[in-house]
Amino acid sequence: MKLAKLSLAAVLALGFLGAANAADTFGEAFTKGKLAGKIQATYVDQKDERAPIHDEQMTSIQLELGYVTDPFYGFRLGVTGQGNFLPFNSMRKSGTLYDKEWRTQGAVMSEAYLGYGIGQTDIKFGRQYVNTPLVAGNPTRAFKEAFEGLTIVNKDIPNTALIGGWYYKFQGRSAVVTGGKEGRAPHFKDRVIVGGMGPVAYEFDNIFTGAVINQSIPNLKLTGAYARVTDLRRGALQGDINFYLAEANYKVPVGDFKLGFDAMYKGSRTTRGLEDLNYDGNMIGLRAGIYDFVGFSASYAYTTVGDNDALAFGLGNGPGSYTLLPIRGPFVFTGYAGMNTHKLLFEYDFKEVGAEGLKAKLHLVKGKQDAPHRNAGPTAANTHMNVKGWAAQVSYDMPWVKGLSASVTYTALERKNFDAMGAVKKTDNNELWLQLGYKFNLLN
């Protein structure tokens, strides 16, 4: 059964009307508010040998503008709009690589919330960007993902954050994601992306999540999180999915550099009809690295998933893994049943040689899958896939113009798919992003 949903407009009105007995101060809450935004141009070029359309390029312009009032008796209002426009590309009627990511035009009000702060507690109700360990939107495509519902964060316990959330609507990257028309801007619906279950959203009733993040011990961060989506409907199948996370991150200074060690467990459990999909997966992740040594950082990461169940990572495209590849993300191989993935990451900050704001990264990934004995998520019984890939990223925050930045990302991924008889099919998937963006503040 669905929980009763309060009218968003009614809640926003009641929150501010209840405090409107001091008109002058009420007016100052708006005049002292913060208005900020970003404009970005993106060029993308993808080649995918698996798809009917093997090659696609496009240019898009993203706009984002957000406003939040100054607190008034603890209350604040926040709104954020997003837009995406395709200045040089005609809309294809069908057969596009980017219908769920970049080939989308229009605007959406992604944030419209009432916030309230008291002591060390912050409450937010309405449309909002969400970034919790297991429920999180992804900001990397034409439209940032968002949720509608309630988020509460409390920091009364020293060095500890307690997070709780309830959400009942989701806004994806494009209208296609939630069942809408191709080429349209996304909108809020009672459908949500489940990380690891594909790029489209499924109908659901409610999302609940809770997390504890503790940093009481010097240099150590501990995170525990739980999430549940109720009555998720995938075709004729229906049930709940439970998500679990436990993580420890330790980074300690040693002379002129830092040593870092990370360990993570992720798990998912399905109920009722969804059990037939075999998404009751467990992932263990380990990572070790050397950081900030005269500008250099290097790390090695390893993730492994149990043999006969795939992992559902969480809700939204935000939850990740230690061995993801930029652009491709964590869902297209790292959470597959029986997958063992290794990753090397090298980073350099050019400020050490006088180029402030210039950074570079090189990612190297290799994965080998043990064939499951039954259908497990996206993997058919007795089949498996081996992958190897790399990605290079260069970003530059230009110091002579505050807020101006540019970046280049190139990713290459090779898949070898083995069928039950051992026959292999090799495919390549390569993608280039060029981005130029400018962040600005207008009232502060």
Q: What pLDDT score was predicted for residue 10?
A: 52
Model confidence over 233-276: pLDDT tens digits? 999 999 999 999 999 999 999 999 999 999 999 999 999 999 99
- Evaluate if residue 27 carries a pLDDT over 90: no
Q: What pLDDT score was predicted for residue 94?
A: 57
Q: What CA–CA distance (Å, rounded) separates 134 from 275? A: 20
Over range 146-174, report the average pLDDT: 98
Q: What CA–CA distance (Å, rounded) separates 141 from 147? A: 16
Q: What CA–CA distance (Å, rounded) separates 99 from 117? A: 39
- Evaluate if residue 159 carries a pLDDT over 80: yes
Q: Are 179 and 136 spatial neighbours (Cβ–Cβ below 8 Å)?
A: no
Q: What pLDDT score was predicted for residue 197?
A: 98
Q: Which fold has domain 8-441?
A: Porin (2.40.160)
For the chain, give every domain's residue range.
8-441
- Identify the weakest region by mean pLDDT among 90-94, 143-147, 235-239: 90-94
Amino acid at 59: T
Long-range interactions of 186-192: CB distance < 8 A, separation 24+: 186/104, 186/108, 186/143, 187/108, 188/127, 188/146, 188/148, 192/229, 192/232, 192/315, 192/316
Q: What pLDDT score was predicted for residue 3?
A: 52
Model confidence over 311-367: pLDDT tens digits? 999 999 999 999 999 999 999 999 999 999 999 999 999 999 999 999 999 999 999
Q: What pLDDT score was predicted for residue 91?
A: 56
Q: What pLDDT score was predicted for residue 23?
A: 34
- Residue for token digits 């998720």? 232
Question: Taking Cα atoms as reference points, which of 61, 77, 254 lies closest to residue 143?
Answer: 61
What's the whole-model pTM score? 0.93
pLDDT above 90 covers what percent of the chain? 88
Give me the residues paired with residue 249 across strands.
221, 262
Q: Are 108 and 178 spatial neighbours (Cβ–Cβ below 8 Å)?
A: no
Q: Which distant-in-sequence residues (6+ apart) come within 8 Å of 322 by Cβ?
A: 262, 264, 285, 286, 287, 301, 302, 303, 343
Over range 409-414, report the average pLDDT: 99
**CA within 13 Å, CB half, 78:** 20
Question: Taking Cα atoms as reference points, which of 41, 100, 97 lies closest to residue 405?
Answer: 41
Give 92 or 387, the one with higher predicted confidence: 387
Q: What is the largest CA-CA distance in the chain?
A: 77
**Mean model confidence pLDDT for the chain:** 94
